[in-house]
């Protein structure tokens, strides 16, 4: 999504907002010892709370102050898109993107990369290309940019907005689509080769309602990718809402059904037009839906203050033009502090095993959340520091009847049997009592992983 303009208006979605059924009463204020910032509150459930950032606003002290205080994940608003990073063919420009990435990492925040391949915001030289020349240029772009940021990106929106609006549920007609229907698959494969440890996401808008054809089209693609071993780790839901396109009553069901395919789900560009208690309640509904789905790993709002939004007239964000917290901020923070529930529609099997109850000083523990299906599994390992901070860690797992086929946020040794995992540069430092996560996908069975952590 572009901050300064949007090539097309959001398509109104006919959906019923079941306000009475979903969070009709705002959650009560949290206890006195609850987290006081969005990022810290999200971390309590192993999630993140991020925002989109514009490089030219980092010099604004109010803007930067809120960013540094509240958020633990950063997405570059426009600075990592194709026109910004490769303005001339074969000549790459990372200056503004680097400002955002470096600022985030210096503040201990992670980064979502947005976006490697998109029909919009292509540089002029690419807009006039077609066929194999365009395909090769797209693949070179994905490879070069993902390689440049290797080890610095938590997750990439590899492909953005590739499905058409309307009743068909098919692909959008674009110059990239006309290079062949496999263009999305090859982009994901190129991204995996360029940065094996980054999570790879497909990102789109108007996919929030489970009953809509566009949602079903994306679902079928992800299902196909998972069945054939195409490397996809997550699906991003932009979730731009207003009165014409409200939060659908089946929003949580949508998130859960995608998660059941063995991918993470992330709310990637959240903004909700409105004000007062109505807006606050809708933000709380979305937050609670994410918390209720175990594989919903985080929420990103698309901007900081209302004046920073591409929809500024709709006042859609958590801070007003002056940087003051709105009612929507308070309702979101309260929901994060209250924690999540469970969704009875879950069909995958999830188990959690913790290898130690109370880590000793300087030590760490590891636990696993396992999603197993007939052909394979996805394991998410949570590393928790003891009463002293970690400066590095290693985890061993036992994979007796399965094989690792892909991983993220850790360096591994081995594919089966005893597999050793160690931190990458951005998650080596874990504060006392804090945690970080890595994960991997495999074929066969993931039962009996028994992760064990040691400080290094």
pLDDT at residue 145 in the model: 98
Q: What is the pLDDT of residues 176-233, one digit of tens each?
A: 999 999 999 999 999 999 999 999 999 999 999 999 999 999 999 999 999 999 999 9
Confidence of residue 339 (pLDDT cuts 50, 70, 90): confident
The answer, yes or no, to whether the previous bond of 115 is cis (omega within 30 of 0) is yes
Check: CB of residue 217 under 8 Å from CB of residue 247: no
- Per-residue pLDDT tens for 88-137? 999 999 999 999 999 999 999 999 999 999 999 999 999 999 999 999 99
Domains and CATH numbers, the chain: 38-340 (3.20.20.80), 364-455 (2.60.40.290)
Query: Residues 138-157: pLDDT tens digits?
Result: 999 999 999 999 999 999 99
Write the pLDDT tens digit of every residue in 78-87.
999 999 999 9
Q: What is the pLDDT of residue 352?
A: 36
Strands (E), 188-331: 199-204, 234-237, 240-241, 264-272, 296-301
What percent of the chain clears pLDDT 70, i.e. is strictly above it? 87
The answer to whether 178 touches 130, Cβ cutoff 8 Å, is: yes
- Mean pLDDT of all residues belonging to the chain: 87
Q: Which of 79, 161, 269, 273 is catalytic?
A: 269
Query: What is the Cα 225 distance to its own chain's centre?
Result: 18
Q: What is the structure's pLDDT at 354? A: 35
pLDDT in tens, 227-252: 999 999 999 999 999 999 999 999 99
pLDDT of residue 353 exceeding 60, the answer is: no
What angle do helix axes 251-259 and 276-291 make, rounded to 10 degrees? 20
Checking if the pLDDT of 315 tops 70, the result is: yes
Residues 6+ apart with CB under 8 A from 432: 385, 386, 387, 388, 389
> How many residues make up the chain in this entry?
456
What is the pTM assigned to this prediction? 0.71
For residue 269, indicate whether it is catalytic: yes
Which residues face 436 on adjacent strands?
383
Cβ pair 372, 348 in contact under 8 A: yes
pLDDT digits over 53-69, tens only? 999 999 999 999 999 99
Contacts for 394 with CB less than 8 Å, ≥ 6 apart? 420, 421, 422, 423, 453, 454, 456
């Amino acid at each position: 999504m572009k901050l300064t303009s949007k090539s097309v208006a959001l398509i109104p979605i006919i959906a019923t907002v079941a306000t009475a059924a979903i969070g009709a009463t705002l959650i009560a204020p949290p206890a006195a010892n609850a987290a006081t910032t969005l990022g810290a509150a999200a971390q309590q459930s192993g999630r993140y709370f991020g925002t989109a950032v514009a490089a030219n606003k980092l010099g604004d002290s109010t803007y930067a102050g809120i960013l540094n205080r509240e958020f633990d994940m950063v997405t570059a608003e426009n600075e990592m898109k194709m026109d910004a990073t490769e303005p001339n063919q074969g000549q790459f420009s990372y200056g503004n993107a680097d400002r955002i990435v470096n600022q985030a990492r210096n503040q201990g925040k992670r980064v979502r990369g947005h976006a490697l391949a998109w029909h919009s915001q292509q540089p002029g030289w690419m807009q006039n290309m077609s066929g194999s020349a365009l395909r090769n240029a797209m693949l070179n772009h994905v490879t070069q940019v993902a390689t440049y940021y290797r080890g610095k990106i938590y997750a990439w929106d590899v492909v953005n907005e590739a499905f058409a609006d309307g009743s068909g549920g098919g692909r959008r007609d674009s110059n990239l689509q006309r290079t062949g229907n496999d263009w999305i698959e090859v982009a994901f494969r190129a991204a995996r080769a360029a940065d094996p440890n980054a999570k790879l996401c497909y990102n789109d808008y108007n996919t929030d309602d489970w009953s809509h054809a566009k949602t079903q089209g994306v679902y079928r693609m992800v299902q196909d990718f998972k069945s054939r071993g195409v490397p996809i780790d997550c699906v991003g839901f932009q979730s731009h809402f207003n009165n014409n396109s409200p939060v659908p009553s089946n929003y949580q069901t949508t998130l859960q059904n995608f998660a059941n395919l063995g991918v993470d789900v992330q709310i990637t560009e959240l903004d909700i037009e409105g004000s007062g208690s109505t807006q606050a309640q809708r933000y709380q509904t979305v937050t609670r839906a994410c918390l209720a789905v175990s594989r919903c790993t985080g929420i990103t709002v698309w901007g900081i203050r209302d004046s920073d939004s591409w929809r500024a007239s709709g006042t859609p964000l958590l801070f007003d033009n002056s940087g003051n917290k709105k009612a929507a901020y308070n309702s979101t923070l309260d929901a994060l502090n209250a924690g999540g529930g469970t969704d009875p529609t879950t069909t995958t099997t999830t188990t959690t095993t913790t290898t130690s109850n109370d880590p000793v000083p300087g030590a760490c523990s590891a636990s696993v959340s396992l999603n197993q299906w007939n052909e394979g599994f996805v394991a998410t390992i949570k590393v928790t520091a003891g009463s002293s901070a970690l400066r590095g860690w290693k985890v061993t797992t036992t994979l007796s009847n399965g094989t690792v086929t892909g991983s993220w946020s850790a360096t591994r040794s081995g594919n089966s049997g005893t597999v050793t995992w160690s931190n990458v540069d951005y998650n080596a430092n874990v504060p006392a009592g804090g945690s970080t996560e890595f994960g991997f996908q495999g074929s066969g069975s993931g039962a009996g992983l028994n992760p064990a952590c040691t400080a290094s």
